[in-house]
A = this chain, B = another copy of it.
C-alpha cells in the first residue's frame, strides 16, 4: 500500500508495546522496519510478523538504521532508554514525523505520575531533536497485549503535536491500526496521556483487570 507515511520504523519493535504497533501497521498494509538494539532479535520479530500477516511486510534492523531507512519513526522503548535513543537517532530523523509513545514511569511507584519532576517525555524528545523533526505523542494508554491481539481495543488514543499536519497523519495511522484517535492539541498536552498511564496502571493493580483504558465521551464517532 502506498501512503504518504511511506516506510515506518518501530524502534523497540520487539518489545511489548512495539510489537503490537509493528504487527498492526503491517496488518494494515504498511512496510515496517522493526528496530531493536539486537539485529538478530529484530529480524526474528520481523519474520514472525510476516508469517502472521502472510506477506513480506517487515524487516529487522538496528534502531538507528531503522530510523535512517524509514520515512516515519515510532519510538516504543522503556523510559529508562528513551533519552539515549532520542540522542542516537537525532542525526537521521530531520524532516520526519517521530511518534513518541513513551511514558515517564519511575519504578517502583509506577502508579504515581512523575511528569511534574521530569517534564513530558514527548516534549523532551522534541527539544532534543530540534524543530526539524515533527514529534507526535500517542499510544501511551493502550494495553500492549490488547494491541498485540486481533481483538477490538476499547481505548481511545490521544494524539498531540505542535505540527497539525503530522498530528493528522498519525491519527490516520492509528485509525488504520483499528483504534480511535483523538486529536488532543499541542505537544504540551502530551502530559495528559503520559500521566494517565500511571492512573490506569494503578487501576489494573487495584481492580485486578488486564488493561483499563479510556474513552472520550460526548463527541461524534
Contacts and interface: CB of A to CB of B under 8 A. Distances in A.
Interface in A177-221: 182-186, 188-189, 191-192, 195-196, 198-200, 202-203, 206-207, 209-220
Interface stretch (A17-25, A76-84, A108-116): A108-116
B111 A185 contact: yes
A135 interface: no
Contacts of A42: none
Given A112-B189, A113-B192, A215 B212 contact: no
Interface of A is mostly: mixed
Contacts of A154: 217-218
A14 interface: no
Contacts of A189: 112-113, 195, 198-199, 202
Contact of A209 (B115, B200, B214, B219): B219
A103 interface: no
A155 interface: yes
B217 A199 contact: no
